[in-house]
Chains A and B, each alone.
Chain A
Amino acid sequence: MPDELAELVAAARSGDRAAFEELVRATSAETYTLAYRLLGNEEDARDVVQETYLRAYKGIERFRGDSQFSTWLYRITANCAATYLGRRARHRHDELSDEAPLADVSPDRDPQGLAMASNLRDRLNEALEQLPPRLKAVIVLRDVYDLPHEAIAAELGITESAAKVRLHRARRRLREQLFPLPGEEEEARAV
């Protein structure tokens, strides 16, 4: 953790409200990015960011510094996003099935897609957005943010083995879509 952030964390832990507000300013864009990746829309991401910092504020005395502050914040964000997704699913009947079809992000089929998916990063972001939320959550937390399997399982309220199964399923779907092997190309295009 950079020294400046460590000092802010220490001050915030001892009840310094101004230090906590500085922490919010320093980390809000990253927290928002993770929330947006998990939820897929700006409004929901903003709600989750607010809830994340409220929980962080209430719990900062318990942050012992065993992990980085950013990792601790990612865990809270993941937990808030999971709660939010659960609530949203109940209200909007979101598609939670792992087998939901993906939109076509293969650039050579769709001229508009070709313009938008100009490089791998864009195509990957687009493919991630199309994943069902519960697959997206594990692959984002593990492969983008490096959270350990047990932390992911704990924050999403699932077992570690379920988290691993979802992770491998998500990797497979992205791999088949972005890097299809011979014979898989037709299948990927048929989706």
Chain B
Amino acid sequence: MIAVQGLVKRFGSKFAVANLSFEVQEGRVTGFLGPNGSGKSTTMRCMLGLDRADAGQSFFGGRPYHELERPLHQVGALLDAGYVHPGRSGRNHLRWLAASNGLPTSRVDEALATVGLTDVGTKRVKTYSLGMKQRLGLAGVLLGDPHTIILDEPANGLDPEGIRWIRDVLVYLASQGKTILVSSHLLSEMALMATSLVVIGKGQLIEQCTVDEFVARYGDHWVRVKSPRATTLVDALRAGGATVQAVDETTIEVHGPNAAEVGELAARYQVTLHELSQQTGSLEDAFLKATAGVQEYTAGGVR
């Protein structure tokens, strides 16, 4: 388990992370979400002791990171796939990482094979694509078979096959009981692999809950109705205070009452229904709603 307690990090007078506390449970993928500039990467660097936190602490299995003797055996972290010397081969990059934690070279070859880079392991990293660097970074994470994994935007630069691969890897590792914290801007991907979320904005915790709870709390909910007598139903729904949007002549979307209430109303008016389904908004919609007030950078509208 990861526990972050009262983390504070200032750059000058600006608070990048402001008294942030959260926990990451084992056996699940936890998404770490926040708008650009919300402090996700800074938080991760502080957790690993790379940036000096002004206050607060992070614990991995109850111990601060700097107290871990051979941390790669316990925590695997990939903060940026670009943190590699371009003149060094991928294999040599992993060799020094492995050596620093007493891991044998055989683990390097196993990790390269796991991420599919065996054939290019001896090539210099400057010849790698961004996707290959991501795979190399993930090989570094897996070197020590750690119980806790921290990844910052691991899908960056990966093609669809690579994105699916990393999702499958993380879901599999979580099923093995590992603790996984992963940040990503690909919210559709996050919806597929994460079961829990830590959402931050301007360095502060906005929400920590399961994905389902988050979407239920912040996402839109409506009822989709298909009926040959939709017009009759619209009048009845509006009279009851519901908001109704017509999709086409026979299909409407009802905001306000739930599916059961709409069904009972339809029965009362003897309106035949061809479809009655409860709809829920996406994680992306929920995220945008939850972070609407804490966006560091917002784009102008498209004309």
Q: Do A and B bind each other?
A: no
A interface with B by C-beta (< 8 Å) = none
